Amino acid sequence: MSERIKLVAYLAAIVAASWLTSPVWLAGGLLVTLVLCGRAGPRLLRQAVLATAAFSGTISLAYAGYVWWSLHRLPLDWLITVNLRVLLMALLTFLFITRVNLFQALSFSRRLSFLLVLAVSQSLVLKRTLAEFRLGLESRSLRPASLSARYRAAAHAIAWLLDRALANAHESAQAMQSRGVFK
């Protein structure tokens, strides 16, 4: 199956899952997706749970508490349906990330592929340098930095980030021009 067909299948599965309101269908969908995950199933399920736990957990606990306080019962239908749906859709996304090369899936548009490759590669480099900035600030003092020092550091990091991003854009443009990418 080509990457593009996999992308379309993923999007169709996400839309279909989002319409489901029956816990039985959602559980069935989750089971089928786990089978499709194969041996990576437990790892992907764990990733899906971790990625959604903060939001889903907060909302589920708050809603369960609210219904219990006002109606003296638990909203079990809602808790099961929504949490199954969230888990199914997150698992589908992690399966997509693992199995599909997004850069190839978007290869129907040469410029979109270039844009994605440039943005992602630059993002990863900038993110790593930013982490080094943070470690640098922490290493310069035995005590935690003051609020004003942290603000100044954040502002300088942002200015550096924008400066670096623009320099990268200039370099990439020159590289593309010299190689005749758009000819």
Partner 1 sequence: MHIPDGFIAPQMYLPLYAAAAAAWAYGAKRVGQELDESSLPWLAALTSASFVLSFIALPLPGGTSAHVTGVGLLAVVFGFWQAFMAASLVFAIQALLFGDGGITTLPLNALAMGFAGAMAARGLFLALRRFHIGLALFLAGWIGLALPALLIALALGAQPHIAASATGEPQYFPFGWEVTLPALLIPHALLGLGEGALTLLGWRLVERLRGRYQHV
CB closer to partner 1 out of 2 and 174: 174
Question: Considering the complex, what minimum distance in angstroms separates the CB of residue 30 from partner 1?
Answer: 12
Question: Considering the complex, what minimum distance in angstroms separates the CB of residue 40 from partner 1?
Answer: 14
C-alpha–C-alpha distance, residues 40 and 87, integer Å: 16
C-alpha–C-alpha distance, residues 120 and 150, integer Å: 27
Question: In this structure, what DSSP letter does residue 107 have?
Answer: T
Question: Considering the complex, what minimum distance in angstroms separates the CB of residue 123 from partner 1?
Answer: 4
How many amino acids of this chain bind partner 1 (CB under 8 A)?
Answer: 73
Question: Considering the complex, what minimum distance in angstroms separates the CB of residue 20 from partner 1?
Answer: 10
Query: Which of 127, 135, 136, 141 forms a contact with partner 1 (CB under 8 A)?
Result: 127
Q: In sequence order, which residues have a C-beta less than 8 Å from that of residue 73 and are 6 or more positions away? A: 67
C-alpha–C-alpha distance, residues 156 and 146, integer Å: 15
CB closer to partner 1 out of 35 and 178: 178
User: Token digits for 126?
Assistant: 């900038």
For residue 67, give the 3-state DSSP assignment: helix
CB closer to partner 1 out of 33 and 81: 81
Site for partner 1 in 81-120 (CB under 8 A): 81-82, 85-86, 88-90, 93-94, 96-97, 102, 111, 114-116, 118-120
Asked if residues 91 and 33 have their Cβ atoms less than 8 Å apart, the reply is yes
C-alpha–C-alpha distance, residues 49 and 114, integer Å: 32
Phi, psi of 73 (to 5 degrees): -150, 165
Site for partner 1 in 154-183 (CB under 8 A): 154-159, 161-173, 176-177, 181-182
C-alpha–C-alpha distance, residues 35 and 14, integer Å: 17
Site for partner 1 in 9-68 (CB under 8 A): 11, 14-15, 17-19, 21, 47-48, 51-52, 54-56, 58-59, 62-63, 66
CB closer to partner 1 out of 1 and 180: 180
Question: Considering the complex, what minimum distance in angstroms separates the CB of residue 39 from partner 1?
Answer: 19
Largest CA distance in the chain: 71
